[in-house]
Structure 1
């Protein structure tokens, strides 16, 4: 069942060339953070290009529940009148974060050092995901958490009444955990320090600096050390949200595997902590170029042009690159199916605890469609068949995961037989315009009727 209603079975069929401009939605990571930090200012933050997928809308509702005035002005333009650092009100009802692991973990961090109590829940997928990786470091600030067995939602957090700053080493690369700790550190006195051995996406650090927080990152023998000085007075901002590289991945990868395609995806954020997929695709021989490179809102941006690339080859993706493309491995595995030879992906155990076990979900679906996949706890290998040789023809389980659903629909665009997903409903959580956008490019994706 879809996270927001009855299942929506969908089928993707081989199509002619994909051509045109794919204007994907705003970046989901930056959209979440814009709303949360806007709520922690005194004054009005304005946001242009906010992603209006369900995940982000759930975060907007949560900020309203904590006392911020959040207004939708139409066409992706929003404003947030904040309550200041430490100014959250206690919500009257349970905070429902839907399908969003990013939303719930960042919001938990933001409230953890405030003297309020809040209960969090989500859909079946989110309620099955572990939260201890966030609640453990938040406990060091003095926050208490009580949830279901295994540290799962629904969960109640009792914020610290007298928070203390912490020094925390992130055990597994995770921008969500890092960001939760930094957001908690905003209302703690003194300096909160986060150490990560591998750099993860740095939108939180960039945005904190933009809002006026004192934050410093330096490389040490321990790794990347991020120091935040607590209890700042954040200043409201105007934020232009760049377009989401994780959403751009789908039309880009579809163009690479579909004969005759030439697709332009404008205004994509190319933050180096997010652009690992595009680097990997180029190493595989993809005809993928950056045009009109520029800087917008402190983030590097470019227009991506992707053309059909029949001669791609498998590579070993460096494990150190995993953090910069963790959400893109499912669709990368689809491209790998159309490349020649093996594509090896290691250091990716984070995929086991996303909206679904993404390694297992993709391995099952790819095998059903005639692709050989080997897998282990933190690695998987896809043996590609080359252009024109992917059988297709299977029904794949999306497992309430938007990226799994979209990845299998991309697979069907060049397969020899249609590829079906049992439920495309979760796509709305991150890419609500996926279907009409791909249709305008020339894709043949349809909702199945009974």
Structure 2
């Protein structure tokens, strides 16, 4: 992946946000759709795929390992898979750009194939530890040579047959859970993941849809997900719903900018991803679900969001796994609320594209908010709905969610708020700023 020149941007308060927004396809589902289709025998068709850099990195990796992955002029992606166990040795290293999801899930896929693969990435991805995935996959028989701290560049050698394991997640992580389940696809016997705290379940839903034998049992230890190996996946037609993590920016923007009313179309509302909507409603947000429906096994609705005064709350820590990617934009909502918000239980933010707790604390302070950083989150004393002073410059740290979150904060600043580089937004939401221009009237 080629690096791009920094793209600074300044934003400040203007008029209300009005209109209808259609967000990109869900990133988590897009990654999985390409991977699982690449392991099915026959042609799968995918509509609504997120065509950001992260997902394109997954498409390129699956192509490098033998799957035929092509986008038609009609916007439909067609994938001819190699079958479970059929991944081929790539000729060169897999460049994952900024995508931690691609890297961790592909490590799981490769772990039970007899191939050797090197992963590289950009500066941000190369700073992120991969040990949480390396540990269980090593138990299954894969071998790793990583950079110090379990980071990229990293070379792994898969094994076939791998060893089925029962793995209890030490921290709530859908990526680690998915990596183990994907390794289990080509592992004889039954591979189990014990999940004390539920995390997003896109892998479970989609693996079943492709024909894998997968069960979920609620026990005293937590959810036990079991997958029977040496699976045969059948091709599917997949419609990817709108990404709730991308919708989150518009939900908060409409909530904090006076006079706003936005309709956000076709938003995925999987219960394991809808924590932000629940928390914002607790704060007083005006969010209506219209035309609820099921698309490809996932609950979907159009969201109508109107400006409303928000009140600070203590965010239930048990909701953290269902909104972990949305904490940065939640922090922005809290900065404009009345009173104090305590948002904790999110230590996972320390090892995302950036240390999102520290980076958001610094960013909000630069915008004039009152913030206290704690180990697992932030404590924020809101402005009561008054604009933030603004006038500062924000370091986005190559993190797309920081850049978009602070762009939304800029819409509620008296003086221009400058984000030093918004180019990373292309990894997940390529037309974010064009959409902002369209609804900012």
- TM-score strictly above 0.5: yes
Contact 1:3–1:99 (Cα < 8 Å) also in 2: no
User: TM-score normalised to the size of structure 2?
Assistant: 0.99
Q: Structure 1: 5+ residue runs without aligned partners?
A: 444-450
Match of 1:250? 249
SS at match of 1:125: helix
Whole-angstrom CA distance in 2 between matches of 1:437 and 1:12: 14
Equivalent residue pairs, number: 441
Contact 1:164–1:188 (Cα < 8 Å) also in 2: yes
Deviation of 1:3 after TM superposition, in Å, equals 7.5
Write out aligned runs for 1:156-171 (5 A). 156-171=155-170
Match of 1:358? 356
Match of 1:406? 404
Residue number among 339, 342, 356 corresponding to 2:340 in the alignment: 342
Deviation of 1:389 after TM superposition, in Å, equals 3.7
Deviation of 1:377 after TM superposition, in Å, equals 1.6
Residues 92-111 of structure 1 show CA distances to partners (whole Å, capped at 9, x for unaligned) of 00000100000110011011
1:67 aligns with 2:66: yes
Residue number among 369, 374, 378 corresponding to 1:371 in the alignment: 369
Whole-angstrom CA distance in 1 between matches of 2:164 and 2:59: 27
Identify if the C-alpha distance between structure 1 residues 325 and 127 changes in structure 2 by more than 3 Å, giving closer, same or farther: same
Identify if the C-alpha distance between structure 1 residues 75 and 319 changes in structure 2 by more than 3 Å, giving closer, same or farther: farther
Contact 1:3–1:400 (Cα < 8 Å) also in 2: no
Match of 1:447? none
Whole-angstrom CA distance in 2 between matches of 1:290 and 1:306: 9
Match of 1:388? 386
Whole-angstrom CA distance in 1 between matches of 2:265 and 2:185: 35
Write out aligned runs for 1:409-424 (5 A). 409-424=407-422
Identify if the C-alpha distance between structure 1 residues 173 and 18 changes in structure 2 by more than 3 Å, giving closer, same or farther: same
Residues 390-439 of structure 1 show CA distances to partners (whole Å, capped at 9, x for unaligned) of 11111000000000000111001121111111000100000001011111
Deviation of 1:15 after TM superposition, in Å, equals 1.4
Deviation of 1:375 after TM superposition, in Å, equals 1.6
Match of 1:302? 301
SS at match of 1:316: coil
Whole-angstrom CA distance in 1 between matches of 2:73 and 2:394: 36
Match of 1:110? 109
Residues 292-324 of structure 1 show CA distances to partners (whole Å, capped at 9, x for unaligned) of 111111000000011111x21011111110000
Match of 2:92? 93
SS at match of 1:22: strand
Match of 1:119? 118
Match of 1:226? 225
Whole-angstrom CA distance in 2 between matches of 1:383 and 1:326: 21
Deviation of 1:75 after TM superposition, in Å, equals 5.2
Contact 1:55–1:103 (Cα < 8 Å) also in 2: yes
Whole-angstrom CA distance in 2 between matches of 1:351 and 1:76: 34
Contact 1:292–1:302 (Cα < 8 Å) also in 2: yes
Higher relative contact order (CA 8 A, sep 6+): 1
SS at match of 2:360: helix
Contact 2:282–2:313 (Cα < 8 Å) also in 1: yes
Residues 17-74 of structure 1 show CA distances to partners (whole Å, capped at 9, x for unaligned) of 1100001110000000000000111101100000000000010000000000000114
Contact 2:161–2:188 (Cα < 8 Å) also in 1: no
Residues 86-134 of structure 1 show CA distances to partners (whole Å, capped at 9, x for unaligned) of 1000000000010000011001101110000000010000000000100
SS at match of 1:139: helix
Write out aligned runs for 1:142-291 (5 A). 142-291=141-290
SS at match of 1:207: helix
Match of 2:33? 34
SS at match of 1:42: coil
1:45 aligns with 2:37: no
Whole-angstrom CA distance in 1 between matches of 2:220 and 2:385: 45
Q: Structure 2: 5+ residue runs without aligned partners?
A: none
SS at match of 2:415: coil
The RMSD of aligned alpha carbons is 1.1
Residues 255-278 of structure 1 show CA distances to partners (whole Å, capped at 9, x for unaligned) of 111111110001100000000001
Contact 2:48–2:240 (Cα < 8 Å) also in 1: yes
Match of 1:448? none
